[in-house]
Amino acid sequence: MKNYLTASISESAVRHNMAQLRRLIGPGVKLCPVVKDDCFGHGMDVLYPVLAELTDGFAVAAPLEALALRGKGYHGFILCFLSAYFDDFKIQDELVWQEITQTVMSTSALESIQAAARRVGKTARVHLKVDTGMGRLGVPARQAVALIEQINAADEVELTGIYTHFATADEAERSATFRQLELFRSIVAVAGGITRHAANSAATLDLPETHFDMVRPGIAVYGCHPSDHLTSTVELRPCMSVKAKLIAVKRIPAGGYSGYGLTHRYDRDSRVGVVPIGYGDGYFRNLSNKAVVRINGMDAPVRGRVSMDQMTVDVTDIPDVKVGDDVEVISSDPTAPNCVENLARLAGTIPYEITCHLGHNMRHELVD
Ligand SMILES: *Cc1c(COP(=O)(O)O)cnc(C)c1O
């Protein structure tokens, strides 16, 4: 962890986003934010107290993420998307003991959860995941009813929910999503009285007919739009800004270069600042010669290749730049050129990947 890099997470922005999502889903639907991968890189340690107060539950990917939430003292509903597979009995038992709701998507997953429940002497609660077209995790739709019957027949296991996941909810073309939705509807029709859920951020924002009993937004909680194609007019506030400090400022004469590969040639006498962040910290190397950072409120273009732990920026047009000045690597202002969504566009990826990568190597602090 690098003490000189800071991700500042805005409490008021997260509260705002959660309130917007609540307003959208109305009072009858539960709000279960997805906090996998350390809250998409935003930092569980800082966000937990804020979210715990506003949420109806948490969804995580990995078993250890679920157990870590219990370790923080959370007693409510926790859904784990992935099970503790294979022969890790210790974690399988702990999940049952700590009352984590696990996902069942196959007979073998059911059997290992049932075995854990027997060892622990406690009923395991599970949600069934149905693959309605995404082609990833989940029981194939045509086998779902049979698996529901198997779960209902399994003594130590209680089916409390059923869900699916959309492959294209963030795209303008809706037909695949509607096909998935219809298939899901036909299956939940035979599974009464349990929590039905399907919506990720895109579906929560844009498709009220997918809300059912609970929604599972991830990226929207942190204030980014899942894609540019949504019609939703809900205003989200990005909650993360990332800061570093300039560690060197140097003159490079016209005709000089900076960085590996000498990919940028300065065509005038220039001043170049060195920022101690690089691809090892999650700042994508393919932002080289494309992105900007901001110093004293002005844009400083990233020049030359981004290295593992440093990069160089052109500060020639910024007056009075000196070592120690704050460098805003990511802005929480969604209109800034260095906002997460714009960096994702420049890097040819999605906002999720930007925040996940940037989270791991730096201090996180909660602000306002
Ligand atoms: C990651 C994930 C989500 C959240 O997706 P967003 O697009 O971030 O809202 C919801 N459901 C499942 C099963 C996921 O894996």
What is the set of domains in the chain, with CATH numbers? 11-223 (3.20.20.10), 240-331 (2.40.37.10)
Mean pLDDT score across all residues of the chain = 95
Residue bearing the CA closest to ligand 1, atom 6: 218
**Nearest by Cα to 214 from 160, 256, 177:** 160
Which of 41-45, 55-59, 134-138, 285-289 comes out lowest in average pLDDT? 134-138
Residue 92: per-residue pLDDT: 94
Cβ-based neighbour number of residue 173 at 10 Å: 8
Q: Looking at ligand 1, which atom is closest to the CA of residue 165? A: 13
How many DSSP H helices and E strands does the chain contain?
11, 20
> Ligand 1, from 18, 31, 34: best to mutate by most atoms within 8 Å of Cβ?
34
**How far apart are the CA of 81 and the centre of ligand 1, in A?**
10
User: Per-residue pLDDT averaged across 259-269, rounded?
Assistant: 96
CA-based end-to-end distance of the chain? 23
User: Per-residue pLDDT averaged across 246-256, rounded?
Assistant: 97
Phi and psi (nearest 5°) for 261?
A: 80, -5
Do 63 and 53 meet the contact criterion of CB atoms below 8 Å apart?
A: no
Res. 183: pLDDT tops 90: yes
Beta strand 270-275 with 311-314 is antiparallel
Ligand 1 neighbours by CB, cut-off 6 Å? 34, 36, 81, 165, 200-201, 216-220, 226
Res. 361: pLDDT tops 70: yes
The percent of residues above 90 in pLDDT, for the chain, comes to 92
Structure tokens that stand for 107 in this block: 């007979």
User: Per-residue pLDDT averaged across 298-306, rounded?
Assistant: 98
Task: Give the count of alpha carbons within 13 A of 188, CB side only.
Answer: 25
> Ligand 1, from 216, 225, 234, 341: best to mutate by most atoms within 8 Å of Cβ?
216
User: Per-residue pLDDT averaged across 68-73, rounded?
Assistant: 98
Q: Looking at ligand 1, which atom is closest to the CA of residue 217? A: 9
**How far apart are the CA of 25 and the centre of ligand 1, in A?**
17
pTM above 0.85, yes or no: yes
pLDDT band (50, 70, 90) for residue 192:
confident
Residue 86: per-residue pLDDT: 66
Catalytic residues, by residue number, are 36, 260
pLDDT in tens, 33-43: 999 999 999 99
User: Angle 44-54/11-25 helices, nearest 10 degrees?
Assistant: 40
Phi and psi (nearest 5°) for 337?
A: -65, -20
**How far apart are the CA of 293 and the centre of ligand 1, in A?**
29
Residue 304: per-residue pLDDT: 97
The percent of residues above 70 in pLDDT, for the chain, comes to 99
User: Per-residue pLDDT averaged across 106-125, rounded?
Assistant: 96
The CA distance from 91 to 118, in Å, is: 14
Residue 88: per-residue pLDDT: 87
pLDDT band (50, 70, 90) for residue 309:
very high
By three-state DSSP, how is residue 169 classified? coil
Residue type, 85: Y
Which residues, 6 or more positions from 83, have their beta carbon under 8 angstroms from its beta carbon? Answer: 63, 92, 102, 103, 104, 109, 112, 113
User: Given 3-state DSSP classes, what are the helix, strand and coil percentages for the chain, each rounded to the nearest 5?
Assistant: 35, 25, 40
Give strand pairing partners of 104: 128
Cβ-based neighbour number of residue 208 at 10 Å: 14
**Nearest by Cα to 157 from 182, 183, 199, 194:** 194
Q: Looking at ligand 1, which atom is closest to the CA of residue 169? A: 7
Residue 44: per-residue pLDDT: 97
> Ligand 1, from 25, 30, 81: best to mutate by most atoms within 8 Å of Cβ?
81
The CA distance from 58 to 216, in Å, is: 9
User: Per-residue pLDDT averaged across 321-332, rounded?
Assistant: 97
**How far apart are the CA of 217 and the centre of ligand 1, in A?**
6
